[in-house]
A and B are shown apart, each in its own frame.
Chain A
């Protein structure tokens, strides 16, 4: 079983729609959780960290459910510029390694 699993999509949504991505992780000792955004042929960039109480940054909301071992990302009022691949990243308590999901592809359609 992979350490981090995501639905690869693709998700094709109209502008203004709300879209949600989920990600599951296998190690209950996981310490830190993140969502990264990766544009085509570019490097991943941090979108937001995910905190235990959930957190919001503008149109983006991240949630963590430790009991069920999943994290989610909600994007409200989708913009064309949100089109990208969203990577779920988990860091375990042991060592200093980060584990990546395969990414979920989002295309926002005019």
Chain B
């Protein structure tokens, strides 16, 4: 079955450490996204990518970095510069442009990061 796989599901990190969250999709989607969700808040966009080797900052990109070397993969690194990294991180993908289904976001199961 096609879908999005995020790993790890749970992650604990000490302050000052970088951590990388994995996101892999086999939906052949062009666009991929990273969101952050905090309790009682909506999803906030961190980064998104429309094509390989290209990505754009979202609303809260500071302290995060991404890469898009393959269409299927869009890893997110939470750096030590991120002041409050404890959150639920969601990766999503969609088709790009005006193709049927381009407007629908599909999510992975999420990664829950806790900084100790």
Query: Interface residues, chain A, CB within 8 Å of chain B?
Result: 4, 8, 31-32, 34, 36, 41-46, 49, 87, 89, 91, 96-98, 100-103
Contact = CB atoms under 8 A, between A and B. Distances in A.
B107 A34 contact: no
B90 interface: yes
B103 interface: yes
A43 B110 contact: yes
Nearest to A105: B40
Contacts of B109: 42-43
Interface residues of chain A: helix, strand, loop or mixed (majority): strand
What are the nearest 7 A-B pairs in CB distance? A43-B107, A102-B42, A32-B103, A100-B42, A100-B43, A43-B110, A43-B109
B103 A91 contact: yes
A101 B103 contact: no
A46 B107 CA distance: 9
Contact of A102 (B33, B40, B88): B40
Nearest to A31: B103
Contacts of A32: 103
A43 B90 contact: yes
B95 to A, nearest CB: 10
Interface centre among B33, B48, B103 (most CB of A within 10 A): B103
B42 A87 contact: yes
Given A34-B105, A45-B107, 9 more contacts: A41-B88, A42-B110, A43-B108, A43-B110, A44-B105, A96-B50, A97-B45, A98-B33, A98-B45
Contacts of A103: 42
Nearest to B94: A96
A51 B16 CA distance: 47
A98 B108 contact: no
